[in-house]
Amino acid sequence: MKNKINPFQFIYPMILVIISQIPTHAQNMAMKKGEKLPVNLEAHLLKLAGKSTWPDKRKPIIIDFWATWCSPCVNSLPSMDSLSQQFSSKIELISVSTEKKELVNEVLKHVFPKGYQLKIHSQDSLLKKYFPHSSLPHYVWISPQGIYMGNPAEINAQTLEKISGGSLDSSEYKIKRVKWDFDKPLYASNAVSVGKPDALLYHSMLTKGRPDFPGASIRRDNFTVATNNSILVLYQMALGKFDLQFRDPARVILKGFHTELDSAAIGMKVNESLTELFSKDMFDNLYNYEILIPEKTYSRSQLFEYMHQDLNRYFFSKGISGHLEKRKKKILSLEVLNADRAKNFIVPSDTKSQHYATSNYLKFQGEVMSFVIVQLQQELKYKDLPITNRTGYKGKVTLELNLKSRSIKDLNQQLRNYNLVLKERTIDLEMVVLIKK
């Protein structure tokens, strides 16, 4: 599977894709499949391709829309660079971000320490107006005749061979996403009136996963929605009351899951074999859950208790139940190094959130501590040791870490700059326990 770029291989328990709002005027400029590009758009692409005129024998164009906050996008850049070299005589590959040049260049410096040949452009606002999209990564295919052909679901060597030959099966196109305002429930969003504003007393539902839904976990004051999440993630969300630290596989205990297939079916993807098994029947292993209760009727804690009860009721039919259980567990504890010194990792609550992760570098600015902990856990994976936040602080932080050396000693040398330290400790830790009978 070399040089394969597939958004679903990067399924992440919090959010797989980010939905963006597209202004009306941008939608009015949107190209339709089969339409020829207008002259100004042709000229813009010519400029991005670094050419003064198109050659007599033009190549198909692939536009790769990406962003620094999109981990799948950043992870795919080296593969995209390799593909651009492999298909340089057959296809024009262009990667585009709407973000500022300084930020994009900062990320590229860490992704490509030895340089790259891929044409990568920043601060481009024009292309998204013609090719609006609601999730990243997003690819656009333009024929040698300047015709908008469609949106490949993924980019790999096999796909590019087909595109260079002028044909791509419709089953290999990106599925159009359902439009969804993240500030409203997905199902109970007043598409049908229930009567008076206070008539809806309680609503919850569970459905099978859908390819036209994003993979997301959304929490608001009176509702929670999880789309295309595994059984395990749903329980982690409910039992952890949306605390991201509970998403750590090292905080999971499975009882009665005797085969790899059993473990994969609930979303336990701790190795390549389990990930491959899970992906074979991915949407059979994914679920959408929504719960909505009137504001001020129940507490936030009770909302997650009801979610837990819902999950146990339904998955009882599969012989599955879940609960929390305290166990003695060795952990990596993130702590304040010196209580008398300033906590240099804290930033104001109104700091704009920004982060990116490459294979050997992490940067967080204005992200909450629980998100930072999850990212550290995913990158470090230390001997099945959960990383827990024991700083006494849950707000927004700033942190930059070079991960070329992943030893605790080297990381602690960097963490000292923020008055932080990672220490191995053994504590009574709440674990997510799933039982299959």
pLDDT tens profile 282-306: 899 999 999 988 877 778 888 999 9
Same-domain pairing of 227 and 362: no
**Residue 197 belongs to a domain:** no
Residue 344 has pLDDT above 80, yes or no: yes
Give yes or no for residue 263 having a pLDDT over 90: yes
Distance CA 268, CA 245 (A): 16
Q: Name the DSSP class of 134.
A: S
Range of the domain at 24: 7-172
* Tally of structural domains, the chain: 3
Within a domain: 196? no
Give yes or no: residues 164 and 62 share one domain.
Answer: yes
pLDDT given at position 194: 53
Most distant CA atoms of the chain, gap in Å: 70
Inside any domain, residue 303: yes
Where among 318, 336, 371 does a domain terminate? 318
Confirm whether 113 is domain-assigned.
yes
The answer to whether residue 158 sits within a structural domain is yes
Residue with tokens 């600015």: 365
Q: Is the domain of 302 the same as that of 389? A: no
Residue 350 shares a structural domain with residue 399: yes
pLDDT mean across residues, the chain: 88
Positions of E strands within 29-163: 61-65, 92-96, 119-121, 138-142, 148-150
How do the residues of the chain divide into helix, strand and coil, expressed in percent and rounded to 5?
Answer: 30, 25, 45
Task: Give the tokens for residue 195.
Answer: 């009567």
Q: Are residues 207 and 86 in the same domain?
A: no
Long-range CB contacts for residues 406-409, cutoff 8 Å, separation at least 24: 406/380, 408/332, 408/382
| Residue 435 one-letter amino acid | I
The CB density around residue 32, as the number of other CB atoms within 10 Å, is 6
3-class DSSP state for residue 117?
Answer: coil
pLDDT at 205: 94
DSSP string, 172-216: GBPPPPPP--TTS-SSSSSSS--SSTT----EEEEEE--TTS--E
Q: Are residues 162 and 27 in the same domain?
A: yes
Distance CA 216, CA 236 (A): 14
Q: Which of 172, 195, 217 is the last residue of a domain?
A: 172
With respect to residue 255, please indicate whether it lies within any of the assigned structural domains.
no
What pLDDT is attached to residue 383?
67
What would the mean pLDDT of 136-143 be, rounded to a whole number? 95
Say yes or no: 74 and 138 in one domain. Answer: yes
Percent of the chain predicted with pLDDT > 70: 91
Contact 263, 278 (CB under 8 A): no
Task: Look at residue 248 and tell me if it is in a domain.
Answer: no
Task: Please answer whether residues 370 and 245 qualify as being in contact, where contact means their C-beta atoms are separated by less than 8 angstroms.
Answer: yes
153 and 102 in one domain? yes
Q: Would 421 be classed as within a structural domain? A: yes
Of 296 and 38, more confident = 38
pLDDT higher than 70, residue 155: yes
